[in-house]
Amino acid sequence: MKYPEKLAPGATIGLVCTSSAISREREAQCTEAIRQLGYKVKTADNLSQNLAGYMAGDGETRATWINCMFADPEVDAIFCIRGGDGGSRTIEYLDLKTIKANPKIFVGYSDVTSFHLIFNQICGFVTFHGPMVSSNMVDSFDDESRASLFQALNADAPYEFKNPDGYDLKVLQEGEGEGTLVGGNFALLGASMGTPYEVNTKGKILFIEEIGETMSRIDRLVYQLKNSCKLKECAGILLGQFTRCPNKDMPEYTELNIFKDALADLNIPVMYNIQAGHGQPNMTLPLGAHCIISTKTKTICFDQIKR
């Protein structure tokens, strides 16, 4: 799996809306936030183009801008403005030949998960599950999230993923495992099933995070993956932030109980409390990278970085 080139000082970052739109005022704030980090900016012209109340233009418009940013030789990296809804409408319009020929830093999470799967599994390059511009960088880009993002973008092998101070990595099931890191938002992983970019977990480390889903919905997603052998096939599991995922009837029964039940008959190492997802801080994970996890040492390491 190919790593994109590092993000050099003064590089040009292209800003795209793969899903939902922002206001014109917010667009200006996003541009300024990137400039304050020391980078030049190119913006897609649909960032504030609101369609049907929640999408930044139609699917073809959004895909065209993604294609343009990958094709543009002046653009060194592509940062997603935000997640939201409607990313799946763009997929049929993506120019995968051009994208594969021009691997670049690509950063985002949430509804962006579909693009991570496509760029990792079909286009063959590493992408980054990390902070987005409007969602994270404008108002509250904390030091831990910032440091984690730029460590991941510019890493040399090997390097170790670290949670922020005060957030210990925890163990649900003991063991060691290694393989390509795949995953992202749980709802989008479920939605990938039966599509050409269906999440491939065979021999891989699976990362999962979620926001705003009930325990009954999470239970269905867990057993969807188990019944399709996606859990059985993976080499390990990393559970990120499950933000605002309530169980009103039995608050003490959480996603950890569901995963523990589902994995009881599977010899798979599982670590949780990884601070990546919809919370703050929001640490960065290189999806598509070779990952080694150990519950004994409570470490998550990445090696085999090839640019």
Q: Which residues pair with 205 in a beta bridge?
A: 181, 236
**Average confidence (pLDDT) over 184-210:** 97
Give the pLDDT score at 192.
97
pTM over 0.85: yes
What band does 52 get if pLDDT is binned at 50, 70 and 90? confident
Instruction: Count Cβ atoms below 10 Å from residue 112 Cβ, excluding itself.
Output: 25
Is the predicted pLDDT of residue 123 greater than 80, yes or no?
Answer: yes
> In 3-state terms, what secondary structure has residue 196?
coil
Give the pLDDT score at 304.
86
Burial pattern 136-172, b for ≥16 Cβ within 10 A else e, equals: bbbeebeebbbebbebbbebeeebebbbeeeeebebb
- The answer to whether residues 127 and 287 touch, using CB atoms and an 8 Å cutoff, is yes
Task: State the Cα–Cα distance between residues 306 and 75, nearest whole angstrom.
Answer: 20
Give the pLDDT score at 74.
97
**How far, CA to CA in Å, does 227 sit from each of 103, 114, 145, 193, 197?**
34, 21, 35, 12, 18
> In 3-state terms, what secondary structure has residue 18?
coil
What band does 307 get if pLDDT is binned at 50, 70 and 90? confident
**Average confidence (pLDDT) over 4-28:** 96
Give the pLDDT score at 306.
83
Give the pLDDT score at 53.
74
Residues serving a catalytic function are 110, 209, 278
Q: Which of 185, 161, 153 is nearest to 278 (CA)?
A: 185
Give the pLDDT score at 79.
98
Q: Which domains does the chain have, with CATH numbers?
A: 10-141 (3.40.50.10740), 159-304 (3.50.30.60)
pLDDT in tens, 233-287: 999 999 999 999 988 888 889 999 999 999 999 999 999 999 999 999 999 999 9
Give percent of the chain with pLDDT exceeding 90.
93
What band does 157 get if pLDDT is binned at 50, 70 and 90? confident
